């Protein structure tokens, strides 16, 4: 009995010693490794990747996704650079092609003349430099008025300028009679179907809605209305001009007409005739202290009549 008791006492002592030895080790392991994952498995037992890169060659062991991510970037950069270069080249080429000959305005200013044409309404060009050999019976030479002048003429430079009204300057503003009217020197390639032929002094003219043309190289050129040309009806927008108590003229586009049995015949302007509007192609001319407007060979004096800006046909004589 004593021997059995001693043996169990020894076993108990050994067990207590073993526990005392293992318990610190277990606490130290928990402190370093932390808690074990749920399920009782140690973190060190987590499976490793199936394969590891080969240390001898990173390029050979790159994943396909890595290779595809490198090439598209290079291709995209080259594409963008090519697009920029191409766009720049096209822009430069376009600039070199157009040069400075691009016009953005709607009006065409033709060198050598004073006519401005609105190309938004007229798709033709003006060329007053065309040499048209035509024997034109000009309607811009003034004829005398039988009514005597109540005012002395303005004398300057050896000439006397006669008018019935006092001088009242206002700027010359050409009047626009519409898209079918054109100033002298205007060139068109073709005429409208409404154009008719008028013959004066063996010279053939083409007339259309208040405008007279003569055939020229490649088309037709506008000329002053020839004296003696007769038309059946006046164009819309014409006005009556009082010459004296017994005579009236009809006026349209800078041209004067006189009514007769055959219709309306072109006549020269009569001194003292007063009109409100002057056509394109005129110019202001300074003579002494007076500024006249010259249209062809006719001088107009700016006046004011009944509160409106008007123009009076001037009679010019040599001052003897």
**What is the pLDDT at residue 31?**
64
Whose CA is closest to 253, among 118, 147, 140?
A: 140
Residues 178, 165 contacting (CB under 8 angstroms): no
If one compares 52 and 218, the residue with the highest pLDDT of the two is: 218
**What is the pLDDT at residue 177?**
95
Whose CA is closest to 196, among 212, 184, 183, 208?
A: 208
**What is the pLDDT at residue 26?**
63
- Taking 60 as the threshold, does the pLDDT of residue 97 lie above it? no
Write a three-state SS string for 223-283: ECCCCCCEECCCCCCCEEEECCCCCEEEEECCEEEEEECCEEEEECCECCCEECCCCCCCE
Using DSSP, state whether 300 is helix, strand or coil: strand
Q: Which residues fall within 8 angstroms of residue 121, CB to CB, at 6 or more apart?
A: 179
Round the average pLDDT of the chain to a whole number and report it.
75
- Taking 90 as the threshold, does the pLDDT of residue 18 lie above it? no
Residues 272, 243 contacting (CB under 8 angstroms): yes
**What is the pLDDT at residue 202?**
93
- Taking 70 as the threshold, does the pLDDT of residue 210 lie above it? yes
In tens, the pLDDT along 59-80 reads 444 444 444 444 444 444 444 4
145-148: long-range pairs with CB below 8 Å, 24+: 145/243, 145/244, 145/270, 145/271, 145/272, 145/315, 146/244, 147/244, 147/272
Dist CA 62 CA 65 (whole Å)? 8
- Taking 70 as the threshold, does the pLDDT of residue 266 lie above it? yes
Partners of residue 264 on adjacent β-strands:
231, 259
Q: Where are the domains of the chain?
A: 111-318
Q: How confident is the model at residue 195 (pLDDT cuts 50, 70, 90)?
A: very high
Q: How confident is the model at residue 7 (pLDDT cuts 50, 70, 90)?
A: low
- Taking 70 as the threshold, does the pLDDT of residue 275 lie above it? yes
Q: What is the mean pLDDT of residues 94-106?
A: 41
For the entire predicted model, the pTM comes to 0.59
Dist CA 275 CA 312 (whole Å)? 7
Q: How confident is the model at residue 147 (pLDDT cuts 50, 70, 90)?
A: very high
**What is the pLDDT at residue 278?**
97
**What is the pLDDT at residue 28?**
65
**What is the pLDDT at residue 112?**
36
**Of 16-25, 36-45, 250-259, which has the strongest mean pLDDT?**
250-259
Q: What is the mean pLDDT of residues 23-34?
A: 62
- Taking 70 as the threshold, does the pLDDT of residue 91 lie above it? no
Q: Which of 1-15, 245-259, 260-274, 300-314 has the lowest mean pLDDT?
A: 1-15
For residue 225, how many C-alpha atoms fall within 13 Å in the half-sphere facing its CB?
Answer: 29
Dist CA 139 CA 186 (whole Å)? 18
What is the helix (H) or strand (E) element at residue 299, kind and residue range? strand 298-305
Dist CA 31 CA 25 (whole Å)? 10
Q: Which of 101-105, 174-178, 258-262 has the lowest mean pLDDT?
A: 101-105
Q: What is the mean pLDDT of residues 246-251?
A: 91
If one compares 3 and 221, the residue with the highest pLDDT of the two is: 221
**What is the pLDDT at residue 17?**
72
**DSSP summary character for residue 64:** H
- Taking 60 as the threshold, does the pLDDT of residue 268 lie above it? yes
**What is the pLDDT at residue 43?**
44
- Taking 70 as the threshold, does the pLDDT of residue 243 lie above it? yes
**What is the pLDDT at residue 137?**
52
């Amino acid at each position: 009995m004593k021997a059995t008791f001693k043996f169990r006492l020894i076993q108990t002592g050994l067990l207590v010693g073993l526990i005392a030895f293992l318990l610190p080790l277990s606490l130290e392991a928990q402190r370093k490794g932390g808690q074990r994952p749920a399920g009782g498995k140690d973190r060190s037992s987590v499976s490793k990747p199936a394969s590891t890169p080969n240390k001898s060659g990173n390029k050979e062991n790159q994943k396909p996704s890595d290779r595809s991510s490198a090439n598209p970037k290079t291709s995209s950069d080259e594409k963008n650079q090519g697009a920029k270069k191409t766009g720049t080249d096209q822009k430069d080429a376009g600039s070199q092609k157009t040069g400075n000959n691009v016009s953005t305005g709607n009006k065409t200013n033709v060198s050598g003349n004073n006519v401005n044409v609105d190309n938004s309404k007229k798709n033709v060009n003006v060329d007053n430099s065309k040499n048209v050999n035509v024997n034109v019976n000009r309607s811009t030479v003034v004829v005398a008025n039988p009514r005597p002048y109540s005012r002395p003429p303005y004398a300057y430079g050896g000439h006397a300028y006669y008018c019935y009204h006092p001088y009242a300057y206002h700027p010359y503003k050409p009047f626009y009679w519409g898209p079918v009217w054109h100033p002298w020197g205007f060139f068109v390639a073709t005429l409208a179907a409404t154009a008719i032929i008028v013959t004066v002094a063996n010279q053939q003219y083409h007339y259309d809605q208040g405008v007279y043309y003569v055939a020229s190289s490649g088309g037709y050129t506008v000329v002053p209305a020839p004296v003696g040309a007769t038309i059946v009806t006046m164009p819309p927008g014409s006005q009556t001009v009082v010459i004296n108590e017994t005579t009236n003229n009809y006026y349209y586009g800078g041209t004067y007409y006189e009514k007769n049995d055959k219709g309306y015949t072109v006549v020269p302007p009569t001194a003292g005739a007063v009109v409100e509007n002057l056509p394109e192609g005129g110019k202001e001319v300074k003579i002494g202290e007076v500024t006249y407007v010259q249209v062809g060979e006719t001088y107009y004096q700016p006046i004011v009549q009944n509160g409106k800006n008007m123009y009076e046909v001037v009679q010019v004589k040599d001052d003897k």
